[in-house]
Amino acid sequence: MALKQSTINLGTVMVIGGCGFLGSNIVDQLLNFPTETDPSCALPKPQGDPRFIYPRLSDRYPRCAAKTVVVDLRTTNNRLPGAEYYDGDITSAESMLAIFRRVKPDVVIHTASPSMLEANKALLHKVNVDGTKNLLEVAGGAKGDWGGKCKAFVYTSSSSVVHDTQSDLINVNEEWPYIRGDLQKEYYSETKADAEELVLKYNRTSPSSMLTCAVRPAGIYGEKDTSITFNVLEHAFKSSPTVLRMQLGDNNNLFDFTYVGNISYAHMLAAERLLASYQRIEEGHDPTLDCDRVDGEAFNVTNDAPVYFWDMTHALWALADKVVEPHQVLALPEGLLGIIGAIGETIFKLFGKTPRLTRRAVRYSCMTRFYSCEKAKHRLGYRPIVPVEEGAARAVGYYIEKNRPTAGKKEQ
């Protein structure tokens, strides 16, 4: 797609969680892709393979004019030249106030969250809910004056806030209600919903009239991805060819996989539009119609191209030179797998371990889960600039090159 390149002016941007997978990608985009220009932080990828040749990101995403500041619990990972780094704890008001006094951000992009699979309930609540509340109040000026005004607050929520992790979601938009309480099987999603609600309710109510909104990414994958790509490829390299042929379900379930760069782009657009609204409000007129407003709203962000779940898996495996052809596929019905998963879980529980096949894994592999991102396209001007197949090549290329010594060792 030939996109006319524009410039997004954001002033001073503070990325909370900027050393994480998504956060560091946002920083990369804010700095106009040093990973493509600076060899010291270039992303590894296989050389000489035409499947991993793709056009530059910096030629397609808009340019950003922003002073970039990163705050994370630890800032040792994923550092990029051109950004300032601060260690800070979002659950501590004093810690954050000190940083805000030094940085005086115009925009806060809050991506910090414990991993969905590693954290326990107490930590999830502490960081996602209490931490977000604390950060909102510091940024909004409710915890004391830090010498500036934060105009825009963009929160990275999750598409799972409307999902109970059991049912199918078919072309779901932002009108779907939060799933919380007994219906919600995933505590992570409950804390993300609580946090998102805090953020959206805080819109325009802070002492500085800060504007807020939330971005709900669905199925994030890409370079440095430690969940989707990592799990799929790890399975490919660990399993025998026979196991790779096993497919959970009939593969007629559509799933949204969203390239991380597109999600970062959505954050830029959201911040840009919040700043524009803030400017209009300060100038005394805000004629934005409800159907066009951005502040106080949540936005689904996807690649607008749902893919059959196992097609994505097979595509990633094929890029890693492990091809499973349609006639080789062993399609195992979901009902049977659910029973086997339950039995396996019971047995392994006696030994305090988790089997590879769980009921949860079966459900995730067989469910339909895709969203409508029309609202983001209409109100933010969002477009999925990097298509799914290129994102897949980027993610696999990164993984292969980064793990090449191990792969080489296995080959010997």
Partner 1 sequence: MKPSEWLYFAVHPSQLRSIIQWKVWHNPVHERNETAEPETQRVCFRFLDQTSRSFSAVIKEVHPELLLPICVFYLVLRGLDTIEDDPSLPLSTKEPLLRGFPDILNRNGWTFDGNRPEEKDRNLLVEFHNVITEFQNLKPPYRVIIRDIAHKMGNGMADYCIRAATEGLSVLTNDEYDLYCHYVAGLVGEGLTRLFVEAKFGNPGLLERPGLHNAMGLFLQKTNIIRDVREDHNDDRHFWPKEIWSKHVDRFEDLFRLEHREASLNCSAEMVLNALHHVDECLFYLAGIREQSIFNFCAIPQSMAIATLELCFRNPAMFDRNVKISKGDACQLMLDSTQNLRVVCEVFRRYARRIHRKNTPKDPNFMKISIACGKIEKFIETLFPSQTAEDARRRVAGQTSVAEDAKRKADTETRGDMVFMFGILFCVVLVVTVMMIGTAWLMGARFDLAFQELRQGNWPTPINMPPGRLRHGEL
Catalytically active residues, by annotation:
192
Bridging pattern class, strands 307-308 and 254-255: antiparallel
Number of residues near partner 1 (by CB under 8 A):
38
Tell whether residue 370 is a contact of partner 1 (CB under 8 A).
yes
How far apart are the C-alpha atoms of 21 and 259, rounded to whole Å?
Answer: 12
Tell whether residue 389 is a contact of partner 1 (CB under 8 A).
yes
How far apart are the C-alpha atoms of 103 and 12, rounded to whole Å?
Answer: 8
Tell whether residue 86 is a contact of partner 1 (CB under 8 A).
no
Is-contact 108 214, C-beta < 8 A? no
Which CB, 345 or 390, lies closer to partner 1? 390
Bridging pattern class, strands 258-259 and 169-172: unpaired
Tell whether residue 178 is a contact of partner 1 (CB under 8 A).
yes
The DSSP letter of residue 291 is G
Amino acid (1-letter code) at residue 277: S
Instruction: Give the residue, chosen from 49, 59, 286, 311, that forms a contact with partner 1 under the rule CB under 8 A.
Output: 311
Site string for partner 1, 326-345 (x = CB under 8 A): x-------------------
Distance of closest approach, residue 392 Cβ to partner 1, in angstroms? 6
Tell whether residue 373 is a contact of partner 1 (CB under 8 A).
no
Tell whether residue 307 is a contact of partner 1 (CB under 8 A).
yes
Tell whether residue 173 is a contact of partner 1 (CB under 8 A).
yes
Is-contact 31 82, C-beta < 8 A? yes
Among the residue ranges 80-88, 128-136, 236-244, 323-331, the one whose residues contact partner 1 (CB under 8 A): 323-331
Distance of closest approach, residue 167 Cβ to partner 1, in angstroms? 9
The SS3 of residue 174 is coil
How far is CA 201 from each of CA 139, 210, 296, 303, 397, rounded to the nearest angstrom?
A: 15, 11, 7, 28, 41
Residue with tokens 């390149």: 5
| Residues forming the site for partner 1 (CB under 8 A) | 162, 168-173, 175-179, 181-183, 251-252, 254, 305-308, 311-312, 314-315, 317-318, 323-326, 370, 372, 387-389, 392
